[in-house]
């Protein structure tokens, strides 16, 4: 597929500097791009490559001032990174629209139904009473359990497992190896020291425009639903326990773990490898730094770090003081020596 600079500028509402007929057919990093490729410059650290790159078209910020002549055609936009992301999304849509039909072999239960322009890859399993919306792509080796509902324009990547009764909204992307709806970790301690399994009879509900990374697990609720609200973005290797609620437009980085029945608000940011105990609440807009251990509820807008996690600003002050401890120790010893000398002179 080939696109002229004029068409690209139209998509991202940009202004062209250079040849509007410059043609690109693929993407490339600015430091490696070849003729016929589209690139972008958002980080000033890479400015030197702007003058040496072989890219045919480059997207840059509209307020960026060049210091040398640029041989590539420039497209100026308010935010180069966002514009480039938009183009990548459009390109991906075009590629995925070419995927349609049912590959063989697959298993699709007679009671299952699917909409128009869907793709179901080889060795996929579609259970009883499953409902799949229009233009959804189910890649090979995916498992869709009984009574699952999947909305329109979803992408279920290879090896994803969605257990029975779970509900997936529209425009949801679930990456390879992720498991949705496995049993929550519910076991009742017995008098003899053993543990009795508590049946997990709820489900998982994932609302619209959610993206979930590879090899993550979202457990079904004991009763009711584990809920991922619209716009949430989850990275790879994340554990979401039973009855957790993740708010709108919340982002969670890789290897974080959320314990059971915790309620996370809207627009929360959780760093990688953070651990959050069960039955607490994280208020809207709160932030949890990477590798933090959160054991208490957070008020809206609160930022915490450390394990146990505490106020982010106070933590930075503590870290600054701790770096000065050797110097402070030396000064204390000097003061002690002065005091000792003064006491000796006074009693002499």
Rounded to 5°, angle at Cα 185 from 235 and 183: 75
**From 157, 242, 248, 279, the catalytic residue:** 242
Residues contacting 88, CB < 8 A, separation 6+: 27
Q: Residues in the chain, how many?
A: 348
3-state secondary structure of 326: helix
Strand order in the sheet with 149-150: 113-114, 131-132, 149-150, 167-168, 203-206, 225-228, 245-246, 263-264, 281-282
Q: How many CB atoms lie within 10 A of CB 89?
A: 10
DSSP assignment, residue 130? -
DSSP assignment, residue 340? H
H/E element, 84: helix 80-97
Structure tokens belonging to residue 227? 């809920």
DSSP assignment, residue 64? P
- Identify the CA nearest to 217 among candidates 201, 208, 228: 228
d(CA 123, CA 169): 23
Q: 50 and 57 in contact (C-beta within 8 Å)?
A: no
Report the half-sphere exposure of 274 (CA within 13 A, side-chain side).
25
- Going by their DSSP bridges, the two strands 37-41 and 26-27 should be labelled as parallel
Is 175 tagged catalytic?
no
d(CA 249, CA 15): 31
My answer on whether omega of the bond before 308 falls inside 30° of 0, hence cis, is yes
Active site residues: 242
């Amino acid at each position: 597929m080939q696109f002229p600079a004029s068409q690209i500028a139209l998509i991202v509402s940009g202004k062209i500097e250079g040849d509007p007929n410059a043609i690109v057919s693929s993407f490339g990093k600015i430091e490696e791009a070849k003729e016929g490729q589209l690139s972008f410059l958002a980080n000033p650290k890479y400015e030197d490559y702007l003058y040496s790159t072989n890219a045919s078209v480059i997207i840059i910020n509209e307020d960026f001032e060049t210091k040398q002549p640029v041989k590539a055609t420039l497209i100026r936009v308010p935010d180069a990174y966002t514009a480039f992301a938009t183009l990548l999304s459009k390109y991906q849509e075009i590629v995925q629209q070419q995927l349609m039909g049912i590959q063989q072999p697959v298993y699709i239960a007679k009671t299952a139904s699917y909409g128009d322009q869907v793709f179901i890859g080889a060795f996929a399993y579609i259970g009883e009473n499953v409902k799949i919306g229009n233009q959804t792509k189910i890649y090979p080796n995916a498992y869709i359990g009984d009574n699952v509902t999947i909305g329109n324009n979803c992408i279920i990547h290879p090896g994803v497992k969605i257990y029975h009764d779970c509900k997936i909204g529209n425009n949801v992307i679930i990456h390879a190896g992720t498991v949705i709806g496995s049993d929550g970790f519910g076991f009742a301690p017995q008098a003899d020291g053993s543990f009795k399994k508590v049946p997990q009879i709820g489900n998982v509900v994932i609302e619209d425009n959610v993206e979930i990374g590879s090899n993550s697990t979202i457990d079904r609720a004991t009763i009711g639903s584990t809920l991922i609200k619209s716009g949430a973005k989850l990275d790879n290797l994340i554990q979401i326990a039973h009855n957790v609620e993740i708010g709108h437009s919340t982002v969670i980085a890789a290897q974080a773990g959320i314990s059971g029945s915790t309620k996370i608000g809207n627009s929360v940011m959780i760093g990688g490898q953070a651990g959050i105990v069960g039955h607490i609440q994280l208020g809207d807009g709160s932030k949890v730094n990477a590798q933090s251990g959160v054991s208490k509820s957070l008020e809206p807008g609160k930022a915490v770090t450390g394990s146990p996690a505490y106020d982010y600003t106070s933590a930075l002050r503590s870290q600054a003081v701790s770096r000065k401890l050797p110097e402070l120790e030396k000064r204390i010893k000097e003061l002690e020596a002065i005091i000792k000398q003064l006491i000796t002179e006074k009693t002499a």
